[in-house]
Structure 1
C-alpha cells in the first residue's frame, strides 16, 4: 500500500475530525496573516504619511492628535493658529517651505482640506500628474483624491456642497440641536458650491481619501473671519536641515497657545500605541496556536486508538516501523499543510475584502496580495507545530509490539 494513498484514506475516513483540525489551523494562520498585513500597512503609512514635513505647527494640545489630523485626516484638530504666523514661518531662514492647512468640513465623511496647490509638488515631487483635469486655482474649485472620487462617484465638472464637521452627519446633528448659530452655519455650507476641476492619481497615502480646495474656503464658508483675524488649522513645515528642524521647533513652540512638534516622533508615538494593541492580539493568536496544536494532537490520538488493529496488521504483513511512523506523522502534517494553505488564502482574501474599510477608517493601505516576510516563518512554525503534535501519538504506536497491538 502506498503511503500517500494510506494518508488520504485515513483523512477521509474521519471527515469531521479532519475538517475541524484543518479549520482550526486555517483560522489561526488567517488571523496571523491579517495582522501581518495590517502591521505592514501601518509601517508603510507611518513612513510616507507626512512626507518631508518634519515639523508641524498647530494649537496647543496633543501632539499625536495634531499629527493624525494634519496628515492622516483622523480625529479633530487641536484648534487654530493665526494665519499671520505662516508669513513669519516662511521668512525663517531655517525653513525650506511651509504650507498652511484649513479643515473642519466634510462631504459624506470625506474631509475637505484647504491647502495651497504648491503642497503637492513639494510632497510628491514635481513630476506628479493629475489623473484627470487640473489643480484648483480659485475659490470654489476642488480636487478629489483618487479613493474619494471613486467612493463618491464624482467626476471632473461635477458640483457639490460640503457639510460642517469632520464626520458624516455631524451637520445634521448640529442642526437638530436647535441653535440658531448652528442653523445659520448649516445654511452657509449648503449655499457654497464647489466645482471639481481635477482628480489626483493614486498617491497611496491618506491624501487619497481627502478633498482639496483653496486655503480660503473655510473663511468664505463660515464668514466669521476677516483681515488679520484669519486662522488656520495647522502649518506644515519642511526644514532646510535637521538642525533647522530643531531650531524651528524650539522657536515656535515658545509662542503662547502654539505648539511645534517633530512630526516623526508624534507618528512614532501613535505607532507604538498600536503596536501594544497588536501585542495584545498576539496573545490571542498564541492561544489559537495552542488550540490548533491541541486539535491536531487529539485528532491523531483518536486515530491511533481507532486504528490499532490496522497498525498491527500493517506491521504483521511486513510494513516497517518507519512506515507506520510516517503514516501517522504524515497524517498530522498533511492536515496542517492543508490548513496552512487555506489559512494563507483566507488571510489575504480577508485583507483584500477589508482593505477599503481599513483605508477609509485609518488611511492605511493594505497590500492584500503581497507576500509578507513573516509568512515564511509562519509556514515553518505551523508545520513544526503540526509535526510535534503528531509525533506523540505516532511514537506511541511505534513502540508497541505488533502482536500485542493486534490482539488489543
Structure 2
C-alpha cells in the first residue's frame, strides 16, 4: 500500500475531525477568494469604464453620485442641467470633447441613453449589425441586451419611465432597433443608445418641433432649447492644465458641478477597501484556527497510531516515509480545503452578481485571477506548517520502546 492511499485511509478513520479541519480551511480561503475577485472586478470596472473621461459636468449634489450615474449607470442622477448651459460649457476652450447624456428611461432595467455621435467616438464603438441611430426613436443597443433578450435589427421595443422599473411603460412611443453594438466588455454592452430628441419627445418636450434635418443632429438641438434639459456632460480636456482650472471655473461661476472620475473612483474604492480589509483579516484568523485544528487533529491521531507506525517501521518503512506520511495527511486536508474554498468563493461572487439589477452586471464568478494560485500555495504551506511538528515526532519515534510498552 503506497503512502497516498495509506494517508487517505488514516484521515477517513477520523472523519469528523478531518471534516472540521477541511471546513475551516474552506471558509477562510473562500472569504479571501471572493474578496480578491470582487476587488479585482470592481477595480477593473471602474478603470475600464472611466477610460478617456476626464470629468463629468452635472447638477450640484454628490460628486460620487454624478460619476456613478453618468459613467457606470448604477445610481440616480443628481438632477438635470439646461441644455443651452451645457452647450456653453462644451464650447469652453479648455474642452476637447463634450458628450451630452440624457437619462430618465429604461428598457427592462437597461438604461436608455440619449446622446449624440460623440458618444460613439468617445467609446470607440462599432456596430456589429445594422447601423448607429440617426432619426428620432431609432436605437442602437448593446450586445448584452441583444443576446439576453434575443433582439434583432428591425424589432420594436418600448421604454419605461425611471431607471430600473418597467412598471410605467411608454406606450405612446416605440423605439426601433437599427443596430447592435459590437461587444466591448464595458458598460456600453448594457445600454440602449438613441438621440437626445427622442428622450425629450418621449416625455412630451419639443414634440411640436420634431421635424429636423437628420444629417445634422446638433443643428436641430440648438433650436428651441427653452425648457430642454440633459443629465450631464462627459468631458475630455485639451490639456493637463485644465484639470485644475476647469473644475474651479464651473463650480464657482455656475450652478453646475464638475466631478473627477479618477478622484471619486479612488474614494469609492478606499471606502469599500476598509470593509474588505476587515473581512480579509477575519479570514486569516479563520485560517489560523484551521491550521491549529489540523495540528491538533494530527497530533492526537499520532498518539493513537504510535503502535501502527512502529509496526510499519519493523516491516521496512523508513523514517522518511513515516515523516512524509504525516506531512501528506496535513497538506491533503488544507489543499482540499483551499480548492473547495476557491470554488465556494466564486460561487458567492456569482450569487452577488445574480442580485444585481439588469444592466448593472459588475460581478461574475466565472472569471479567475492568477493571484488565486497563491491561495492554493497558502493551503500547501498551511498543511506543511501544521503537520511538521507531528511529522518530526513520528520521525523520531523509538520503535523498540513503543513495541515494548504495548
Q: TM-score, normalised by structure 2?
A: 0.86
Residue number in structure 2 paired with 1:301: 299
Residue number in structure 1 paired with 2:209: none
Matched, 1:7 2:7: yes
Deviations 1:323-355 (A, max 9, x none): 322211221112222333343445456656765
Matched, 1:202 2:197: no
For residues 362 and 78 of structure 1, the distance between their equivalents in structure 2, rounded to whole angstroms, comes to 19
Unaligned 5+ runs, structure 2: 207-223
CA contact (8 A) 1:106 1:168 kept: yes
Aligned pairs for 1:297-336 (under 5 A) are 297-317=295-315, 319-336=317-334
Q: Which moved more, 1:133-142 or 1:329-338?
A: 329-338
CA contact (8 A) 1:86 1:99 kept: no
For residues 294 and 128 of structure 2, the distance between their equivalents in structure 1, rounded to whole angstroms, comes to 52
For residues 129 and 356 of structure 1, the distance between their equivalents in structure 2, rounded to whole angstroms, comes to 29
Matched, 1:135 2:163: no
Residue number in structure 2 paired with 1:259: 257
Aligned pairs for 1:393-404 (under 5 A) are 393-404=390-401
Tell me the secondary structure at the aligned position of residue 377 of structure 1.
Answer: helix
1:56 is displaced (CA, Å) by: 0.8
1:392 is displaced (CA, Å) by: 3.0
1:140 is displaced (CA, Å) by: 0.5
Q: Which moved more, 1:297-306 or 1:106-115?
A: 297-306
For residues 289 and 106 of structure 2, the distance between their equivalents in structure 1, rounded to whole angstroms, comes to 46
Residue number in structure 2 paired with 1:378: 375
Q: Write out the 4+ residue segments of structure 1 that deviate beyond 6 Å after TM superposition.
A: none
1:78 is displaced (CA, Å) by: 0.4
CA contact (8 A) 1:204 1:365 kept: no
1:4 is displaced (CA, Å) by: 3.1
Matched, 1:160 2:141: no
CA contact (8 A) 2:347 2:365 kept: no
CA contact (8 A) 1:205 1:363 kept: no
For residues 147 and 267 of structure 1, the distance between their equivalents in structure 2, rounded to whole angstroms, comes to 24
CA contact (8 A) 1:136 1:214 kept: yes
Change (3 A) 1:45 1:77: same
Tell me the secondary structure at the aligned position of residue 131 of structure 1.
Answer: strand
For residues 288 and 151 of structure 1, the distance between their equivalents in structure 2, rounded to whole angstroms, comes to 40
Deviations 1:272-306 (A, max 9, x none): 11212211221332233123323322331342133
CA contact (8 A) 2:57 2:256 kept: yes
For residues 367 and 205 of structure 1, the distance between their equivalents in structure 2, rounded to whole angstroms, comes to 17
Q: Which moved more, 1:392-401 or 1:76-85?
A: 392-401
For residues 113 and 242 of structure 2, the distance between their equivalents in structure 1, rounded to whole angstroms, comes to 27
For residues 246 and 123 of structure 1, the distance between their equivalents in structure 2, rounded to whole angstroms, comes to 24
Tell me the secondary structure at the aligned position of residue 114 of structure 1.
Answer: strand
Change (3 A) 1:356 1:201: farther
Matched, 1:72 2:94: no
| Aligned residue pairs, count | 388
CA contact (8 A) 2:352 2:363 kept: no
1:204 is displaced (CA, Å) by: 1.4
For residues 9 and 51 of structure 1, the distance between their equivalents in structure 2, rounded to whole angstroms, comes to 55
For residues 225 and 332 of structure 2, the distance between their equivalents in structure 1, rounded to whole angstroms, comes to 74
CA contact (8 A) 2:110 2:359 kept: no
Q: TM-score, normalised by structure 1?
A: 0.86
Q: Which moved more, 1:68-77 or 1:159-168?
A: 159-168
CA contact (8 A) 1:321 1:398 kept: yes
CA contact (8 A) 2:331 2:379 kept: no
1:80 is displaced (CA, Å) by: 0.9
CA RMSD of aligned residues (A): 2.6
Matched, 1:218 2:199: yes
CA contact (8 A) 2:137 2:174 kept: yes
Matched, 1:193 2:193: no
Unaligned 5+ runs, structure 1: 173-185
CA contact (8 A) 1:98 1:236 kept: yes
Residue number in structure 1 paired with 2:96: 96
